[in-house]
Chains A and B, each alone.
Chain A
Amino acid sequence: MSLTATAKAGPRSPADSGPGPDDGRAATLRRTWRKASPYAYIAPFFTLFLAFGLFPLLYTAFVSLYRVELQTSGEMEWRGIANYTALFTDEYFWISLRNTFTIGVLSTVPQLAMALGLAHLLNYKLRGRTFIRTAILLPYATSVAAATLVFAQLFGRDFGLINYVIGLVGFDPVDWQTGTVASQIAVSTIVIWRWTGYNALIYLAGMQSIPHELYEAAEMDGASRWSQFIHVTLPGLRPTIIFTVIISTIGATQLFGEPLLFEGSISGGISHQYQTLGLYMYEQGWGFFHLGRAAAIAWVMFVLIVVLVGANALVARRRARKEAGR
């Protein structure tokens, strides 16, 4: 009953027409089943994947060319690229695009830098290693909604703990809601809090797969710990760093829950000062009932992600080539 031997013989091969009709049919059936049965194993996943994964994704592009309203989502009226032109002339689209970018940088850069530092420390021989690792991952287990509600409280203008501490140190309290920079820092803080530990563990896993002969060799050359970190750890971590940068970029592009729940408003603050593209899409679709417009925004986000990930990959490859040439 070897699968590989029969794999090439199709059901119509001359061998089938050999013996009696009944026998032949049974053999053909069995062979057909053997070829078909792998599909039975992937069928449950792919049925769901097609219906709820791939189809919606592709159909988004189609919907973005129509007028579709939330209450009558069965009726579609052709609009061509009007959804897109409306988008590009909307001031709030550009504001949310800018916010997505600035919040993305504000949250991703410190997050990954701190994660790298923490991973370096976690890689030492430590007491209570398992405990530290688990505790550092705790924020990751918290939901966006829960984390944001707590931080919204902590960032309160009048009675928030953070402003209280700032006051203790002797500075004026910060209005974390209305200021553009302040509110974006606050929103980024939530992202940083939730994801730094997770990224630290990813980096730690990467560090542990760097062979320690490399460190021994560096030590023999008289390299300090710092220069070992720069010349052995960082290059060894390159694939991991690229991975985390890409994942964080994608996450930052679709940031949604934090700005939504920071004050509970779908416009991302009184003057849209921290509205992200994800929130803007939600506002258009479920605030103003324009599903077609929302689909256009989704498609813009998709293109943005493809471009950003592509740029990441390109830069990474360039740098790798440059280093190899040295």
Chain B
Amino acid sequence: MTALAAPPTAPETGRPPQDPPGRRLGKGGAGRTMKGGWLSYVILGFALLISAFPFYWTIVAASRSNADMAKVPPSLLPGPNLIKNFEQVLEEANIGKALLNSLIVSSSITIGTVLCCTLAGFAFAKLKFRGRGALLTLTIGTMMIPPQLGVIPLFMLIAELQWVNQLQAVILPGLVSAFGVFFMRQYLVQSLPDELIEAARVDGASTARIFWSIVIPIARPGMAVLGMLTFMTAWNDFFWPIIALSSQEPTVQVALRQLGGGYVNDQSVIMAGTLLGTLPVLLVFGLLGRQIVGGIMQGAVKG
């Protein structure tokens, strides 16, 4: 987060030299000097409730039976059928394979993207070469264009290569992240001093050597943020996987699409599948939520 540097004391105001304690916390933040009243807590609590309720409801529905779901008044507490519904959805919707495939796809995309983007980001941030400005403009220019619009030729390409229904059909296009290149470039422009590179060059280090021993260690926090965001995006990607893959070789989202497409009529089983497909991301989020929040806010300020 690009917090502002210590704010200069305003000349006329004669502000006391010591900031009140509340202000200390807010690094240049505006409203943070003010404490939130009870109404803020009430409204935010309500917002959190709405955020969380669908998750709770998924658990409730996944642990009941289809007959329970059609009861009036509806049951608002979890029931005893969770394991049974899990077993059924694993059998009917290929969720086990979907989870494995999603793990393979998302990890490959994450590793590949972070690597490609760090390499390119470094070149754009610190190396001089002809066409640098034009290529960077091209990359940033396409950042705004949704990849969904190129899906038809992409499909023709994949069909030509006979990759339909194979995981590389999803992995390779997933590696293209113009945002990632931009993000890593911004990160390295800010955190990698030119002097460090020059000093290494004076010592006779090659660019490759500099990349491995200087750039990578410094870029690591940025790479971690990009990695988390990429993993989440890849795990949740919907449009392209349902075109390139089918129920024989599904990712989680493809399997969920199948579940919602009318093959399974049991609402509880559908919700059990949804729960299984969402749990891994929730787990990642539970462990790294703070960093993801930081990454998004950081990206917002830089972008």
Q: CB distance A124 to B156 under 8 Å?
A: no
- Residue-wise, chain B 134-158 has the 8 Å CB interface mask toward A (1 for contact) of 0100110010111111111111110
Q: CB distance A52 to B296 under 8 Å?
A: no
Considering residues A59, A148, A212, which has the most beta carbons from chain B within 10 angstroms of its beta carbon?
A212
A260 neighbours in B (Cβ, 8 Å) = 257
Q: CB distance B303 to A243 under 8 Å?
A: yes
Q: CB distance B47 to A136 under 8 Å?
A: yes
Q: CB distance A123 to B30 under 8 Å?
A: yes
Q: CB distance A125 to B44 under 8 Å?
A: no
Q: How many residues of A contact B (CB 8 A)?
A: 113
Select one of B43, B132, B149 contacting A60, CB under 8 A. Answer: B149
**Cα separation A119 to B273 with both chains bound (whole Å):** 33
Q: CB distance B152 to A285 under 8 Å?
A: yes
A254 neighbours in B (Cβ, 8 Å) = 146, 148-149
Given A53-B147, A146-B277, A193-B54, A124–B120 Cβ distance below 8 Å? no
Q: CB distance B40 to A209 under 8 Å?
A: no
Given A41-B122, A45-B117, A151-B54, A57–B145 Cβ distance below 8 Å? yes
Minimum CB–CB distance from A319 to chain B (whole Å) comes to 21
Q: CB distance B145 to A149 under 8 Å?
A: no
Residue of B nearest to A148 (CB): B260
Select one of A136, A158, A208 contacting B48, CB under 8 A. Answer: A136
Q: CB distance A52 to B34 under 8 Å?
A: no
**Cα separation A260 to B260 with both chains bound (whole Å):** 9
Q: CB distance A125 to B28 under 8 Å?
A: no
Asked if B100 CB lies within 8 Å of chain A CBs, one says: no
B50 neighbours in A (Cβ, 8 Å) = 193
Select one of B153, B259, B281, B289 contacting A56, CB under 8 A. Answer: B153
Considering residues B4, B36, B202, B271, which has the most beta carbons from chain A within 10 angstroms of its beta carbon?
B36
Q: CB distance B300 to A138 under 8 Å?
A: no
Q: CB distance B30 to A208 under 8 Å?
A: yes
Asked if B201 CB lies within 8 Å of chain A CBs, one says: yes
Q: CB distance A154 to B129 under 8 Å?
A: no
> Which stretch (A20-28, A104-112, A194-202) binds chain B?
A194-202
Q: CB distance B7 to A132 under 8 Å?
A: no
Asked if B69 CB lies within 8 Å of chain A CBs, one says: yes
Q: Which A residues, 52 to 91, have Cβ-Cβ distances below 8 Å to chain B?
A: 52-57, 59-60, 62-63, 68, 73-74
Asked if B32 CB lies within 8 Å of chain A CBs, one says: yes
Minimum CB–CB distance from B225 to chain A (whole Å) comes to 14
**Cα separation A139 to B51 with both chains bound (whole Å):** 6
Asked if B17 CB lies within 8 Å of chain A CBs, one says: no
Q: CB distance B296 to A137 under 8 Å?
A: yes
**Cα separation A118 to B202 with both chains bound (whole Å):** 52
Asked if B85 CB lies within 8 Å of chain A CBs, one says: no
Select one of B25, B51, B175, B281 contacting A125, CB under 8 A. Answer: B25
Asked if A46 CB lies within 8 Å of chain B CBs, one says: yes
Residue of B nearest to A294 (CB): B152
Q: CB distance B181 to A45 under 8 Å?
A: yes
Q: CB distance B54 to A150 under 8 Å?
A: yes
Q: CB distance A264 to B261 under 8 Å?
A: yes
Asked if B217 CB lies within 8 Å of chain A CBs, one says: no
**Cα separation A225 to B150 with both chains bound (whole Å):** 48
A-B contact pairs, 9 of them (CB 8 A): A1-B202, A2-B202, A37-B127, A142-B281, A146-B58, A146-B256, A149-B271, A202-B300, A253-B146
Given contacts A53-B176, A147-B54, list 7 more A-B pairs with CB under 8 A. A42-B119, A44-B120, A51-B172, A118-B44, A144-B238, A240-B300, A305-B146
9 nearest A-B residue pairs (beta carbon): A56-B150, A124-B36, A41-B123, A123-B31, A38-B129, A143-B236, A134-B289, A145-B256, A59-B153
